[in-house]
């Protein structure tokens, strides 16, 4: 190489000439070409000058991993499940507030444990952090499947902007774009359509109850309704707010969340195909609710003490006794949610209820996080009698047996609504499920059909509940040794069409689809007609861990943390639910 510098034109001309020579050689006879090129293969030389083949297209973003596939797939979230691998049946949802690096460490740990991936987002994500978080292929090629937003700072408009931005960040990603994204208490249910809504004030240090509705749900483009279902919350009607028709506080604690959940699911079913409802649930949380503050002293928090007078509600100590939801009541609530269409649940926090305040400033946190999680498991799937219920859920034609909030209770007594009687039933059924006890002639499907019903009575009086018709088949609750049943007047209080549910009890009733005689009276004499009906086979008392109905209800820990900091109360069994927004 001489020291002379070539111009840019000379370099280009040289490259063009070389290319022409190679092109000419490729057209020569193979022997001559082989000779002129010193024995090299001119075909290989020609390919060497071309670009390599295009890489394969990138892998398609995976679908969100399922949380609920009966009979054996059941994953739940919980506020305190932040670190992998997490508790049995619970998938961790680390908060991005702890940093993207830590969040991704936990996500990889969850992936290794074979669990779905989810996160909580409490403060807005930068574009760089969102790209890093949602484009990463986690261990095994997993993507983030569930994004639970929880923006509490700022105005409602600011929070809505943050939610919308978060949705856009997820949808614009290359790997987690199919995740379900929602936000605390954001649903397509407007306040005017919420049968349990109470428009009372929210006290200081309580969770933000913004009460968005359909316009905000639609504009943000979320696809997951994270309904707030906290018994005791200030935005639920109750006896203590003077707009609940039953005299007992616990009927409101039990029925009102079920009303909101059902109304939300009805809207989703009607207008939002593919959207999921994963509500925030708890056994009790009365943060900021002065109507359930027994001593009306905000300096020591909002404590509901069963057996203590509640003067602001006009209730004496006898009337408040046994008015807390027990662990069994909470489990029953969970199964009602599932039977009415909830996809999973997100458990708010442990220690909702302390059984005793053992000494001033030291609550006895008898109800632990582990117990709360077990109550969720027990309600959703984990009972010996629940095996058939899980099998029904697993059928391709499984459907809710009812979405009614107006059950037939005590027939003609005038106590018709769930909130008046404290009684409600839910169920699931399949016409195609194999069931040897179902002896019917429906479309030649003898040996198929199963219906399971959960009925609850949170009142302080016994009630008769009539289930009417499920699908197109009447429901009967009594039969004789021959398998015959009876139906008297439509408003009768006999046991042919009614189930007796004692006060404070929950029952699981299992029905078979049979073709049998239906007599006109309970003596099984005289006229009858042959009819295909749902006929009661088994009747179980369930969720009977009801000793906790005198536990003291206490709110979320943000309130108590403030009091402890001021020296009013040393709370040792709490942890912060939400951290303040970063400056």
3-state secondary structure string, 5-17? CCCHHHHHHHHHH
| Co-location of 534 and 559 in the same domain | no
| Co-location of 421 and 331 in the same domain | no
Name the domain count of the chain.
Answer: 3
| Co-location of 359 and 423 in the same domain | no
| Co-location of 378 and 404 in the same domain | no
| Co-location of 449 and 565 in the same domain | no
| Co-location of 247 and 317 in the same domain | yes
pLDDT tens, residue order, the chain (583 aa): 433 333 333 433 443 344 343 333 334 344 434 433 444 444 444 445 677 777 767 789 999 999 999 999 999 999 999 999 999 999 999 999 999 999 999 999 999 999 999 999 999 999 999 999 999 999 999 999 999 999 988 889 999 999 999 999 999 999 999 999 999 999 999 999 999 999 877 766 566 667 799 999 999 999 999 999 999 999 999 999 999 999 999 999 999 999 999 999 999 999 999 999 999 999 999 888 889 999 888 677 788 999 999 998 999 999 999 999 999 999 999 999 999 999 999 999 754 444 333 333 434 457 889 999 999 999 999 887 778 999 999 999 999 999 999 999 987 555 558 999 999 999 999 999 999 999 988 777 789 999 999 999 999 999 999 999 999 999 999 999 999 999 876 666 778 999 999 999 999 999 999 999 999 989 999 999 999 999 999 999 999 877 789 888 877 654 333 333 333 322 223 333 433 333 3
| Co-location of 446 and 525 in the same domain | yes
In angstroms, the CA 238 to CA 253 distance is 7
In a domain, 275, yes or no: no
In angstroms, the CA 539 to CA 502 distance is 13
Question: DSSP letter string over 562-578?
Answer: HHHHTTS----S---SS
Query: Could you identify the residue written with the tokens 């039977």?
Result: 339
Q: Which residues contact 297 (CB under 8 A, 6 or more apart)?
A: none
In a domain, 160, yes or no: no
In a domain, 560, yes or no: yes
Could you list the residue range(s) of the whole structural domain that residue 445 is in?
A: 399-542
Neighbours of 472 (CB within 10 A): 8
In angstroms, the CA 367 to CA 353 distance is 6
In a domain, 40, yes or no: yes
In angstroms, the CA 221 to CA 171 distance is 10
Token pair, residue 491, equals 């408003």
In angstroms, the CA 515 to CA 355 distance is 50
Q: Which CB contacts under 8 angstroms, 24+ apart, belong to 562-567? A: 562/205, 563/299, 563/300, 563/301
Give yes or no for a contact between 100 and 133, defined as CB atoms under 8 angstroms apart. yes
In a domain, 213, yes or no: no
| Co-location of 329 and 370 in the same domain | yes
In a domain, 356, yes or no: yes
| Co-location of 457 and 523 in the same domain | yes
Q: What is the structure's pLDDT at 144?
A: 98
Token pair, residue 554, equals 């206490």
For Cα atoms 495, 497, 501, give the angle at the middle one, nearest 5 degrees. Answer: 60
Query: Could you identify the residue written with the tokens 């479309």?
Result: 443
| Co-location of 579 and 507 in the same domain | no
Cα 580 → chain centroid: 25
| Co-location of 366 and 319 in the same domain | yes
In a domain, 223, yes or no: no
DSSP 494: S
Q: Which residues contact 172 (CB under 8 A, 6 or more apart)?
A: none
3-state secondary structure string, 256-267? HHHHHHHHHHHH
| Co-location of 500 and 560 in the same domain | no
Question: DSSP letter string over 396-413?
Answer: TT-EES---SS-EESGGG
In a domain, 70, yes or no: no
Q: What is the structure's pLDDT at 353?
A: 47
């Amino acid at each position: 190489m001489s020291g002379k510098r070539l111009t840019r034109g000379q370099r280009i001309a040289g490259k063009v000439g070389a290319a022409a020579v190679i092109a000419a050689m490729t057209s020569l006879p193979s022997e001559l070409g082989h000779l002129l090129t010193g024995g090299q293969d001119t075909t290989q030389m020609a390919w060497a000058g071309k670009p390599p083949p295009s890489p394969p297209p990138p892998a398609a973003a995976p679908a969100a991993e399922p949380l609920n596939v009966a009979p054996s797939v059941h994953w739940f979230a919980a506020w305190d499940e932040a670190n992998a691998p997490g508790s049995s049946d619970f998938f961790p949802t680390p908060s991005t507030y702890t940093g993207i690096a830590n969040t991704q460490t936990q996500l990889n740990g969850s992936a290794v444990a074979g669990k779905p991936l989810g996160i909580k987002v409490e403060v807005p994500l930068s574009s760089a952090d969102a790209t890093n978080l949602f484009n990463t292929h986690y261990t095994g090629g997993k993507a983030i499947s569930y994004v639970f937003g929880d923006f509490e700072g700022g105005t409602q408009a600011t929070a809505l902007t943050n939610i919308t931005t978060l949705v856009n960040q997820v949808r614009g990603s290359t790997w987690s774009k199919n995740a379900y994204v929602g936000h605390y208490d954001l649903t397509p249910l407007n306040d005017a359509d919420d049968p349990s809504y109470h428009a009372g004030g929210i006290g200081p240090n309580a969770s933000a109850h913004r009460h968005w509705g359909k316009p905000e749900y639609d504009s943000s483009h979320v696809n997951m309704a994270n309904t707030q279902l906290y018994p005791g919350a200030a935005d639920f009607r109750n006896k203590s707010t003077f707009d609940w028709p039953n005299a007992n506080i616990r009927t409101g604690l039990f029925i009102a969340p079920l009303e909101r959940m059902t109304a939300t699911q009805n809207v989703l079913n009607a207008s939002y195909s593919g959207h999921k409802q994963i509500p925030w649930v708890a056994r009790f949380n009365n943060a900021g609710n002065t109507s359930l503050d027994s001593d009306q002293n905000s300096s020591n928090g909002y404590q509901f003490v069963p057996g203590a007078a509640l003067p602001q509600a006009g209730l004496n100590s006898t009337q408040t006794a046994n008015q807390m939801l027990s662990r069994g009541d909470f489990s029953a609530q969970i199964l009602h949610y599932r039977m009415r269409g909830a996809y999973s649940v997100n458990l708010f926090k442990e220690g909702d209820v302390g059984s005793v305040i053992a000494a001033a400033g030291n609550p006895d946190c008898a109800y632990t996080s582990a117990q709360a999680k077990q109550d969720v498991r027990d309600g959703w799937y984990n009972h010996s009698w629940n095996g058939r219920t899980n099998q029904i859920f697993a059928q391709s034609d499984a459907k809710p047996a009812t979405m009614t909030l107006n059950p037939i209770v005590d027939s003609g007594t005038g106590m018709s609504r769930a909130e008046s009687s404290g009684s409600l039933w839910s169920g699931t059924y399949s016409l195609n499920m194999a069931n040897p006890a179902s002896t019917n002639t429906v479309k030649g499907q003898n040996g198929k059909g199963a219906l399971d019903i959960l009925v609850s009575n949170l009142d302080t009086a016994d009630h008769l509940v009539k289930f009417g018709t499920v699908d197109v088949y009447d429901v009967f609750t009594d039969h004789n040794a021959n398998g015959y049943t009876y139906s008297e007047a439509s408003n009768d209080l006999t046991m042919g069409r009614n189930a007796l549910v004692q006060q404070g009890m929950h029952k699981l009733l299992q029905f078979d689809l049979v073709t049998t005689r239906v007599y006109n009276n309970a003596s099984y004499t005289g006229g009858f007609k042959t009819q295909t009906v749902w006929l009661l086979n088994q009747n179980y008392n369930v969720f009977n861990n009801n000793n906790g109905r005198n536990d003291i209800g206490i709110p979320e820990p943000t309130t108590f943390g403030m009091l402890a900091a001021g020296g009013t109360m040393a709370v040792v069994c709490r942890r912060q639910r939400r951290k303040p927004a970063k400056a």
